[in-house]
């Protein structure tokens, strides 16, 4: 029986390994993590992440060929294939602060693998890492090898949160990069055999190590660039009377461009787009490619601009002040169908409104009060000026209440900001909401999900992204 061990039981490690276990009953999969609470949650009925379809997959294989454990060293020692799926955040201090990837967790995982291994291993980079990381990992492993042979593969993950299970069941492609030596090719084949249990052969691509590592950063940069492009257009639409939905529909009809990922929004969030583009920017700068670095940096600058523009629109529409006014925030997660708030645009929007002394009443179906309070009390990390942290005033945090119902959040509010496109926000009784609000009642739709005509008929003043007022 092939044994797989995955280091890191997070948003990627957990779902990815659960699907491998489901599709490959002949393989034993153990997911290990240093976080005891995370592993306890994976072993309970309350999984640590909300992801549609995940519960059923885990229930089907947990205890059979899928295990979650904190006994990291034992399971790493026993495995044939080790996936490393630890976090690789942006460095906040030291060389490259604000841009470079922090590989502390990756390096410590690699050193631990070298310490405990007693047999040959295939080590798979699942985390998103800078191009050439495999070279560094090879050095760490081979300098401590005690005669053990390691093959490093790059197998970046392309799943999106909220659709992780369907993305894993039916991936557009699986990418495997390895050394172009006979041993490297043999390792690629071993990993291909795992995915071949359910992924058609023509969707499993193999490349050299550096192409695989760079393709992951490139894919995220291209995706984020589409959103910043359409968001930049949304500003021009508002200035000219064009409607961004009509423009993106017309543009996306060109089969060379395609319709997906062209929804204008309050800005993209999530743990990866900003971090991975900054990582790409840093790599370009280190290679002396200033123009290329600046090109990609602009994708993030437009994203910051879009979030600021939204806050400014709220404040200027509400007679240039939101001081003391109750504003309902509908949605805090960075997208629907997840409870993840990492880099959610809601953080910057809420902080902007709190800076203008608004009182916020926040409702999200999947985000806990603790998480929201933690996110809003954290210092803002300014990637462009990493040394100047902006402390949050303790009084601001008192201006926030978190409630468990959209009607409660909007009661007596002067305005509503829709910041996540949860389906339930489309189905709310907006007449009932209007009647319970202060007048004039405003809706600022940061996700373009509201029926603008209907809301205006009810009496709301409505602002949507990139649409005529």
Tokens 């034993």 correspond to what residue? 28
Tell me, residue by residue from 405 to 444, as one string, x for binding to ligand NAD by CB under 6 A and - for no binding: ----------------------------------------
272 assigned to active site: yes
Q: C-beta of 160: minimal distance to ligand NAD in Å?
A: 6
127 is in an annotated binding site: yes
- Pick one of ligand NAD, ligand UGA, none as the site partner of residue 121 (Cβ within 5 to 8 A by kind): none
Could you tell which of ligand NAD, ligand UGA, none binds residue 15, using a CB distance below 5 to 8 A set by kind?
A: none
Q: Give yes or no for residue 11 binding ligand NAD (CB under 6 A).
A: yes
Work out whether strand 204-208 and strand 174-178 pair parallel, antiparallel, or are unpaired: parallel
177 binds, among ligand NAD, ligand UGA, none (CB under 5 to 8 A by kind): none
Residues binding ligand NAD: what is the number (CB under 6 A)?
27
Q: In a 10 Å sphere around its CB, with 0-12 CB exposed, 13-18 middle and 19+ buried, how is residue 459 labelled?
A: middle
Least separation in angstroms between residue 273's CB and ligand UGA is 6
Q: Which of 61, 272, 284, 350 is catalytic?
A: 272
String of DSSP letters for 201-249? GGGEEEEEHHHHHHHHHHHHHHHHHHHHHHHHHHHHHHHHT--HHHHHH
- Minimum distance, C-beta of residue 177 to ligand NAD, in the bound complex (Å): 15
CB neighbourhood size of 388 (10 A): 9
Compute the distance between CA of residue 19 and CA of residue 12 in angstroms, rounded to an integer: 11
Query: Which residues make up the interface to ligand UGA (CB under 6 A)?
Result: 128, 157-161, 220, 223, 227, 261-263, 265, 268-270, 272-273, 334-335
Q: Which is nearer to ligand NAD, 291 or 370 (CB)?
A: 370
Which residue is nearest to ligand NAD, using beta carbons?
Answer: 10
* Closest separation in Å from C-beta 415 to ligand UGA: 21
CB 171 → ligand NAD: shortest distance, Å?
12
Round to whole Å and give the CA distance between 336 and 87: 22
Report helix, strand and coil shares of the chain as percent, to nearest 5: 45, 15, 40
What lies within 8 Å, CB to CB, of 69 at 6+ separation is 30, 31, 32, 39, 75
What does the alpha-carbon distance between residue 417 and residue 314 come to, in Å, rounded to a whole number?
A: 8
DSSP per position, 55-94: HHHHHHHBTTTEEEES-HHHHHHH-SEEEE-----B--SS
35 binds ligand NAD (CB under 6 A): yes
CB closer to ligand UGA out of 278 and 322: 278
What is the Cα–Cα distance from 171 to 391, expressed in whole angstroms?
42
- Using CB under 6 A as the binding rule, the residues of this chain from 100 to 119 that contact ligand NAD are 105, 108-109
Spatial distance between the Cα atoms of 299 and 33, rounded to a whole number of angstroms: 34
Alpha carbon distance 195, 18 (integer Å): 13
Residue 151's DSSP bridge partners are 122
Residue list for the binding site for NAD(+): 8-13, 33, 38, 86-90, 127-128, 161, 272-275, 342
Give the active site residues. 272
Residue list for the binding site: 8-13, 33, 38, 86-90, 127-128, 161, 272-275, 342
Q: Under the rule (CB under 6 A), what is the footprint of ligand NAD? A: 7-13, 32-35, 38, 72, 85-88, 105, 108-109, 127-128, 157, 159, 161, 271-272
């Amino acid at each position: 029986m092939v044994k797989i061990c995955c280091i890191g039981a997070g948003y990627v490690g957990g779902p990815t390994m659960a699907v491998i276990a489901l599709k490959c009953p002949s393989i034993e999969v153990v997911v290990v993590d240093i976080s005891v609470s995370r592993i306890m949650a994976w072993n309970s009925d309350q999984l640590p992440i909300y992801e549609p379809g995940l519960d059923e997959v885990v229930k089907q294989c947990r205890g059979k060929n899928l295990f979650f454990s904190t006994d990291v060293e034992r399971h790493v020692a026993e495995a044939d294939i080790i996936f490393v799926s630890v976090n690789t955040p942006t460095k906040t201090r030291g060389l490259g602060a604000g841009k470079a990837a922090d590989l502390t967790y990756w390096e410590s995982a690699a050193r631990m693998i070298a310490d405990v291994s007693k047999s040959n291993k295939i080590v798979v980079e699942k985390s998103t890492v800078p191009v050439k990381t495999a070279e560094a990992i090879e050095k760490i492993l081979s300098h401590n090898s005690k005669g053990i042979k390691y093959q490093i593969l790059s197998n970046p993950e392309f799943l999106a949160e909220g659709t992780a299970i369907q993305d894993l069941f039916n991936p557009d492609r699986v990418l495997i990069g390895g050394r172009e030596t006979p041993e490297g090719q043999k390792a690629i084949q071993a990993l291909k055999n795992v995915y071949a249990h359910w992924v058609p052969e023509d969707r499993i691509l193999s490349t050299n190590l550096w192409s695989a590592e760079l393709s992951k950063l490139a894919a995220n940069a291209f995706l984020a660039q589409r959103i910043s492009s359409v968001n930049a257009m949304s500003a021009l639409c508002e200035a000219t009377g064009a409607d961004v939905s009509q423009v993106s529909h017309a543009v996306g009809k060109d089969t060379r461009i395609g319709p997906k990922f062209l929804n204008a929004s309050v800005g993209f969030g999530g743990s990866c787009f900003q971090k991975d583009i900054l990582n790409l920017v840093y790599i370009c700068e280190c290679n002396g490619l200033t123009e290329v670095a600046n090109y990609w940096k602009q994708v993030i600058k437009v994203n910051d601009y879009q979030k600021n523009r939204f806050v400014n629109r709220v404040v200027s529409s509400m007679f240039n002040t939101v001081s003391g006014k109750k504003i309902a925030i509908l949605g805090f997660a960075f997208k629907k169908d997840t409870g993840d708030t990492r880099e959610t645009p809601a953080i910057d929007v809420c902080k902007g409104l709190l800076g203008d002394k608004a009182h916020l009443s926040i409702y999200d179906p999947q985000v806990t009060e603790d998480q929201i309070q933690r996110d809003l009390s954290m210092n803002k990390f300014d990637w462009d000026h990493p040394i100047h942290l902006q402390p949050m005033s303790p009084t601001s945090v008192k201006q926030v209440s978190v409630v468990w119902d959209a009607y409660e959040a909007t009661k007596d509010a002067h305005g509503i900001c829709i910041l996540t496109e949860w389906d339930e926000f489309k189905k709310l009784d907006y007449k009932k909401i209007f009647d319970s609000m202060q007048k004039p009642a405003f809706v600022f739709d940061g996700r373009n999900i509201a029926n603008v005509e209907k809301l205006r008929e009810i009496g709301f003043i409505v602002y949507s992204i990139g649409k005529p007022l």
